[in-house]
């Protein structure tokens, strides 16, 4: 199997991002692509430090364009420059994915390299509000009813994508967190295998903009699934 590149969309990241990048040096990851999606000036020192790392590539948006657009920017870069890259692993910038979760996904990518791999979060934790837990379940159930495919965590931001799938992934509709759901719908329509790997507990960082990485609001999640369904129906006409 070829190399895997880690792609991190980042808007006002936590200092913990520096530690995660350092930890990744002990894995099989050879390159880390970080998209600075228009972060505030006070976070510039974090990105400057990342630029000094020989294994890091930092691409900057002049303004905040949304997580979906950041992922498309990263995907387009890999298509053009990642000749020896087998696939990419998307990781959050706000500490919601532990190093252990990342290592598990890297190992899983070797086993399930023919499709997309999702890290399924554990929502049964005191840190997650009941409404968020119920919202995640409701959105997954609605997704199954509308798209006839059962997935336990449709908003997980920790996911592996083979390079060959990037040629359609970077064209998926959605500039914000809606990109995550739209991507899964297109994968189902294209008959791309989707594998689910249990990871650690879902995490909420009260001092971060977690909604940039993973939409966990109950109402927003259900609304987005329904919106994606209506859009897919109108596209087929």
Across the 237 residues of the chain, what is the mean pLDDT of every consecutive 10-residue run?
A: 89 92 90 97 96 94 95 96 92 89 94 95 63 74 92 90 96 88 94 93 53 61 79 66
Distance CA 43, CA 15 (A): 9
* Phi, psi angles (nearest 5°) of residue 130: -60, -40
Say how many C-beta atoms besides its own lie within 10 A of residue 130's C-beta. 9
CATH superfamily of 3-236: Spore Coat Polysaccharide Biosynthesis Protein SpsA; Chain A (3.90.550.10)
- Residue ranges covered by each domain of the chain: 3-236
Which DSSP state fits 164? G
- Helical (H) or strand (E) element with 186: helix 178-189
The length of the chain is 237
Residue 167: CB partners within 8 Å, gap ≥ 6?
79
The reported pLDDT for the residue numbered 127 is: 57
C-alpha distances (whole Å) from 17 to each of 34, 65, 82, 96, 149 are 10, 20, 23, 10, 34
In Å, how far from its chain's centre is CA 13?
A: 15
| Of the candidates 149, 215, 213, 214, the residue with the CA atom closest to the CA atom of residue 184 | 149
Put residue 191 in one of left, alpha, beta given phi > 0 → left and psi -120 to 50 → alpha. Answer: left
Angle at 87 between CA 8 and CA 110, to 5 degrees: 115
Q: Indicate the DSSP class of residue 207.
A: T
6: left (phi over 0), alpha (psi -120 to 50) or beta: beta
Whose CA is closest to 224, among 165, 160, 170, 175? 175
pLDDT at 125: 55
Determine the 3-state secondary structure of 44 from DSSP: helix
Given this model, what pLDDT does residue 94 score? 86
Give the pLDDT score at 1: 58
């Amino acid at each position: 199997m070829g190399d895997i590149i880690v792609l991190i969309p980042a808007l006002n990241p936590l200092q913990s991002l520096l530690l995660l990048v350092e930890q990744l040096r002990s894995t099989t990851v050879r390159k880390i692509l970080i998209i600075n999606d228009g972060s505030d000036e006070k976070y510039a020192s974090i990105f400057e430090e990342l630029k000094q790392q020989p294994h890091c590539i930092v691409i900057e948006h002049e303004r905040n364009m949304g997580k979906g657009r950041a992922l498309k920017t990263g995907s387009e870069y890999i298509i053009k420059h990642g000749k020896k890259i087998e696939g990419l692993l998307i990781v959050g910038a706000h500490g919601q994915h532990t190093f252990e979760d990342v290592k598990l996904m890297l190992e899983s990518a070797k086993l399930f390299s023919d499709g997309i791999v999702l890290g399924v979060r554990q929502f049964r934790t005191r840190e997650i509000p009941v409404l968020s837990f119920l919202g995640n379940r409701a959105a997954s159930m609605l997704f199954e009813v509308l798209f006839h495919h059962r997935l336990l965590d449709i908003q997980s931001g920790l996911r592996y994508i083979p390079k060959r799938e990037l040629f359609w992934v970077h064209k998926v509709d959605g500039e914000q967190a809606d990109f995550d759901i739209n991507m899964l719908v297109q994968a189902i329509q294209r008959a791309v295998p989707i594998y689910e790997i249990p990871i650690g507990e879902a995490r909420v960082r009260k001092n971060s903009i977690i909604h940039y990485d993973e939409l966990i609001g109950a109402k927003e999640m259900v609304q987005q699934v329904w919106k994606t369904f209506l859009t897919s129906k109108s596209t087929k006409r």
